[in-house]
């Protein structure tokens, strides 16, 4: 991994001192250094398109080139603002785009959700007419690249991509940072839900650790995985998948096991229950106030009143966040047959309750098992 102190010194030498984006495990070293040292010059955004907009505003107000960081899976969120706002045919807003390259080559054979994105990452930049450099774990190469990229941005008022393969901007291991903010872990909260919802409930678990914990809880409990949809990619869309299932199968309880960062990423999805009747749909946000799966950087999760937002969108709630096992059990009892789509903001602490291996499973086989289950 590059020395991150030098990375930020090199960027500052070229006038790049404002950073915004969505944390990524391949950029873990970069993101944590920005969090520790850049104060309000580092803005963790709701999604990658939001970050491009913030960066554009920064440039318009300061004339300085900003840097937007993201995992390549988030590039889709940036396409619209990059080509219809920042593009030189429109407003000509330059920015550096630091992109973690998940799925490069055959680096992640057990994670097919990254395969196609890894394959098309350079091509997406090319389609948007954004030149790029693939970074190396070499300080001289990084300094030369940043000098070239910032000169290009200033001269042409265009963006420039910096693609970071595994190991360039992040250490090999992510720590399991457990805090004591709230008594329950995510795994404990998921198990409470499994214990107190009907056996035939269908679950859609959000990207990251919620999918891993549901997967291994099923193994620990000796239960079928056929009722579970593991949203291993497409961050922020698990609740929409769950709602789609709930609308088609009104006799089956359907629970979205969401994360706070994922719910924030596409918060507009919450408004859908105001337009449809889905009393069998329950949306649970497992809220630890962090982007935990990519390094634990803070989200806005613990700063928001998710319950008030959900109520305003048309959900039935218990009027407040739940913080203990007993409060969660009571909320499940009150909401599971309430006659409306329901919502629970379940406050949990950071960290894995136990060490878990990566999920290895056949994705098509798993989703076909769910489809077969939903025929009954």
pTM (two decimals): 0.95
Contacts of 90 (CB under 8 A, 6+ apart): 84
Of residues 286, 326, 333, the one with CA closest to residue 306: 286
User: What does the pLDDT read at residue 42?
Assistant: 98
**pLDDT tens, residue by residue, 27-56:** 999 999 999 999 999 999 999 999 999 999
Are the C-beta atoms of residues 269 and 240 closer than 8 Å to each other?
A: yes
User: What does the pLDDT read at residue 373?
Assistant: 96
pLDDT at 280 over 90: yes
User: What does the pLDDT read at residue 356?
Assistant: 81
User: What does the pLDDT read at residue 106?
Assistant: 80
How high is the mean pLDDT of the chain?
95
Who wins on pLDDT, 295 or 289? 289
d(CA 200, CA 203): 10
Residue 369 token pair = 């098992």
pLDDT at 347 over 90: yes
Q: What is the mean pLDDT of residues 298-324?
A: 97
The CATH homologous superfamily for domain 186-373 is Thiamin diphosphate (ThDP)-binding fold, Pyr/PP domains (3.40.50.970)
d(CA 264, CA 39): 21
Are the C-beta atoms of residues 96 and 78 closer than 8 Å to each other?
A: no
Q: What ranges in 131-282 are assigned the alpha helix state H?
A: 139-156, 186-196, 209-221, 238-248, 260-265
Who wins on pLDDT, 296 or 218? 218
- Least confident among 169-178, 194-203, 355-364: 169-178
CA 78 and chain centroid, separation = 14
DSSP reduced 3-state for 356: coil
d(CA 232, CA 234): 7
Q: What is the mean pLDDT of residues 227-239?
A: 95
Q: Per CATH, which fold does 4-164 belong to? A: Rossmann fold (3.40.50)
pLDDT at 220 over 80: yes
Share of the chain above pLDDT 90, in %: 89
User: What does the pLDDT read at residue 175?
Assistant: 64
pLDDT at 173 over 70: no
pLDDT at 163 over 70: yes
Are the C-beta atoms of residues 99 and 111 closer than 8 Å to each other?
A: no
**pLDDT tens, residue by residue, 81-110:** 999 999 999 999 999 999 999 999 888 877
pLDDT at 223 over 90: yes
Of residues 234, 170, 172, the one with CA closest to residue 204: 234
Are the C-beta atoms of residues 315 and 307 closer than 8 Å to each other?
A: no
The domain limits of the chain are 4-164, 186-373
Of residues 252, 267, 257, 249, the one with CA closest to residue 230: 257
The pLDDT confidence band at residue 329, using thresholds 50, 70 and 90, is: very high
**pLDDT tens, residue by residue, 104-147:** 988 887 788 889 999 999 999 999 999 999 999 999 999 999 99
Of residues 363, 341, 372, the one with CA closest to residue 246: 341
Q: Do domains 4-164 and 186-373 have the same CATH topology?
A: yes
User: What does the pLDDT read at residue 178?
Assistant: 79
């Amino acid at each position: 991994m590059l020395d991150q102190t030098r990375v930020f010194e090199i960027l500052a030498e070229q006038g790049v001192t404002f950073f915004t984006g969505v944390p990524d495990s391949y950029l873990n070293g970069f993101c944590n250094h920005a969090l520790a040292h850049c104060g309000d010059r580092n803005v963790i955004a709701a999604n990658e398109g939001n970050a491009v907009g913030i960066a554009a505003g920064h440039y318009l107000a300061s004339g300085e080139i900003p840097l937007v960081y993201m995992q390549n899976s988030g590039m889709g969120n940036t396409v619209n603002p990059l080509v219809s706002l920042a593009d030189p045919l429109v407003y000509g807003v330059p920015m550096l785009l630091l992109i973690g390259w998940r799925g490069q080559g055959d680096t992640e054979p057990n994670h097919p959700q990254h395969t196609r994105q890894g394959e098309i990452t350079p091509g997406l930049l090319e389609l948007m007419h954004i030149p790029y450099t693939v970074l190396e774990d070499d300080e001289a190469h990084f300094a030369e690249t940043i000098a070239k990229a910032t000169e290009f941005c200033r001269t042409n008022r265009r963006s420039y991509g910096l693609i970071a393969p595994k190991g360039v901007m992040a250490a090999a291991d992510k720590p399991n940072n457990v805090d004591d903010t709230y008594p329950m872990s995510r795994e404990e909260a998921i198990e409470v839900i499994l214990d107190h919802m009907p056996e035939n409930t269908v679950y859609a678990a959000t990207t990251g650790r919620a999918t891993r914990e549901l997967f291994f809880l099923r193994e620990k409990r000796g239960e079928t995985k056929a009722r579970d949809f593991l949203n291993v990619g497409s961050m922020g869309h698990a609740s929409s998948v769950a709602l789609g299932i709930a609308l088609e199968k009104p006799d089956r309880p359907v629970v979205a096991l969401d994360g706070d960062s994922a719910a924030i990423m596409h918060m507009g999805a919450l408004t859908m229950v105001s337009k449809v009747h889905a009393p069998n749909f329950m949306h649970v946000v497992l809220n630890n106030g962090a982007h935990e799966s990519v390094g634990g950087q803070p989200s806005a999760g613990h700063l928001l009143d998710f319950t008030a937002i959900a109520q305003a969108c048309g959900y039935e709630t218990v009027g407040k966040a739940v913080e203990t096992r007993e409060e969660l059990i009571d909320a499940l009892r009150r909401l599971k047959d309430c006659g409306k789509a329901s919502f629970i903001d379940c406050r949990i602490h950071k960290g894995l309750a136990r060490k878990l291996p990566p999920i290895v499973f056949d994705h098509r086989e798993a989703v076909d098992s769910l489809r077969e289950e939903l025929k009954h």
